[in-house]
Amino acid sequence: MATDHIDTRLLEELTEQSQDLNSDAVRITTGALGDFTEVSQEQRQSRRWWQRGGAVAGVAGAAAVLTQLRATAATSSNDVMALQTAASIENLAISVYRTAAGLPFIKDGNKTIAAFIAKTTTQHQAHAKAFNAAATQAGGKAQTAPDAKYAAVVQKALPKIKTPADVVQLAITLEDVAAQTYAKNVAQVSSTQLRRLFASVAPVEAQHRATLLAVQALLAGSLGDLVAIPTNAAKLPSAAGSVGFPAAFYPTRSASPITEGAVK
């Protein structure tokens, strides 16, 4: 088929679908956070009921409430730590993207990369806010510091960042850790609402990584001019459609433990 007959509208449609995916994720995240807030309030009311002498309702009723409270106490500490660790990962991502946005070869370079960084920063800010809101609703403290483990990795990498490709590589690492951590958290937290919260954010981070992997491949192939929306689809390498998805199932072996970013 002649290259001048290639329809690049498909790429524009995929870009729109990508934006829709993030919008759906934001809606689900907001809903999950709202549901979790309701449950947390109900749990606090149950605690107050117990503390104010609710045991007069009967031994069986009091025992049931006490059992519920014990179960909540046994799981809420892990929930809070998971949320705080997630917030710490988001805080670090925000810091890295903000630093990257100020670099001359990003700020005055490829406009699509700069726009991606700006949009992704906003999304990470929303994620951090959601995780911290859930942590405080669960009775914990908000995590305002970056993840210490990966902050050290970033500090080691920053002096070596000289090109957009270096920025992309570092961002891939952070997005991958975030996606793997949240995917694993889905099975580690205790409530449906928190599972929905982590499950709604994980694919957004995975999408960030997929985009960055595609950008990385184009930069490595000296095809930086194709990092554009819309792009010249006729010039894209054959691997363009698969390089962003190296695994059929998203791994979790590099997920951060829930204690990694917990507030001491």
Widest CA span in the chain: 83
Nearest to 167 by CA among 224, 123, 128, 127: 224
Between vectors from CA 136 to CA 183 and to CA 25, what angle results, nearest 5°?
A: 40
- Other CB atoms within 10 A of residue 157 CB: 16
- Other CB atoms within 10 A of residue 5 CB: 7
Token pair listed for 20: 């829709």
Which single residue is written with the structure tokens 């370079």? 109
Q: What is the pLDDT of residues 100-126, one digit of tens each?
A: 999 999 999 999 999 999 999 999 999
Q: What is the structure's pLDDT at 35?
A: 60
Q: CA-to-CA distance for 18 and 124, rounded, in angstroms? A: 16
Cβ 255 vs Cβ 180: under 8 Å: yes
Nearest to 231 by CA among 4, 18, 9, 22: 9
Q: What is the structure's pLDDT at 76?
A: 75
Architecture of domain 9-241: Up-down Bundle (1.20)
Q: Where are the extended beta strands (E) located within the chain?
A: none
Q: What is the pLDDT of residues 48-105, one digit of tens each?
A: 443 445 544 445 544 554 444 444 444 478 999 999 999 999 999 999 999 999 999 9
Q: What is the structure's pLDDT at 21?
A: 60
Residue spans of the domains in the chain: they are 9-241
Q: What is the structure's pLDDT at 27?
A: 65
As to burial, measured by CB atoms within 10 angstroms (0-12 exposed, 13-18 middle, 19+ buried), residue 20 is exposed
Q: What is the structure's pLDDT at 247?
A: 87
Q: What is the structure's pLDDT at 8?
A: 45
Which single residue is written with the structure tokens 């549901």? 35
Measured in degrees and rounded to the nearest 5, phi and psi for residue 73 equal -65, -35
pLDDT along the chain (264 residues), means of 10: 42 55 61 58 46 48 46 66 97 97 96 94 94 91 97 95 96 97 95 90 93 94 90 84 87 97 93
